[in-house]
């Protein structure tokens, strides 16, 4: 297994957190991993993305020019990364914020109305975990049990009130992606 991923969206959507969660979970399972964040100068609303490479073998380069997997949180990120995807790759989209229709037919595209669902669940900040769950349903790169353990550890006591909502969002994203028409 060797997967190169991009998580991309606006600052404040939990893009970097989702990528970091995958990286920490892969490390906890003894996999090789790199995580490189990139964000604009704005705190919220600017661009934010990160690349994550997860592999059973040592990683030669952390650079990800043609991702095998992309999780895009908004339409500008979709427009930027769809053309760069490796043929046969997986593209998870936040369908709540999509305007543009896919142009490629050589990708597995899984639309998930993450922002809408997170809002209905009472916490818009968990949209990232809905998308993360969709990713795990389609590409089980790491164990869900390990993700839950690492998630609770990363949130810590200060955000203990968000533990249950994040785990529920993760599971909801998995359910949606398992039943999504591609």
Over residues 51-68, the pLDDT tens digits come to 999 999 988 877 888 999
With a cut of 70, say whether residue 151 has pLDDT above it: yes
**What CATH number did the domain enclosing 159 receive?**
3.40.920.10
Range of the domain at 63: 2-179
pTM: 0.91
pLDDT tens per residue, range 8-43: 998 878 899 999 999 999 999 999 999 999 876 655
CB environment 56-82: b (16+ within 10 A), e (fewer): eeeeeeeebeebbbbbbbbebbbebbb
Total domains in the fold of the chain: 1
Residues facing residue 47 across a β-bridge: 10
Amino acid 160: pLDDT: 67
Share of the chain above pLDDT 70, in %: 93
């Amino acid at each position: 297994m060797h997967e190169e991923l991009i998580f991309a969206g606006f600052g404040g959507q939990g893009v970097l957190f989702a990528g970091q969660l995958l990286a920490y979970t892969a490390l906890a399972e003894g996999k090789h991993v790199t995580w490189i964040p990139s964000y604009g100068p704005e705190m919220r609303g600017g661009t934010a993305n990160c690349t994550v490479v997860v592999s059973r073998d040592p990683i030669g380069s952390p650079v990800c020019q043609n991702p095998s997997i992309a999780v895009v949180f908004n339409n500008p990120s979709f427009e930027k990364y769809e053309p760069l995807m490796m043929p046969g790759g997986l593209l998870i989209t936040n369908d709540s914020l999509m305007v543009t229709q896919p142009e490629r037919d050589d990708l597995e595209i899984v639309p998930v109305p993450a922002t809408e669902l997170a809002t209905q669940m009472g916490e818009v900040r968990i949209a990232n975990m809905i998308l993360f769950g969709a990713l795990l349903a389609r590409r089980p790169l790491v164990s869900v049990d390990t993700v839950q353990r690492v998630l609770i550890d990363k949130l810590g006591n200060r955000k203990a009130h968000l533990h249950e909502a994040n785990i529920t969002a993760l599971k909801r994203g998995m359910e949606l992606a398992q039943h999504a028409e591609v």
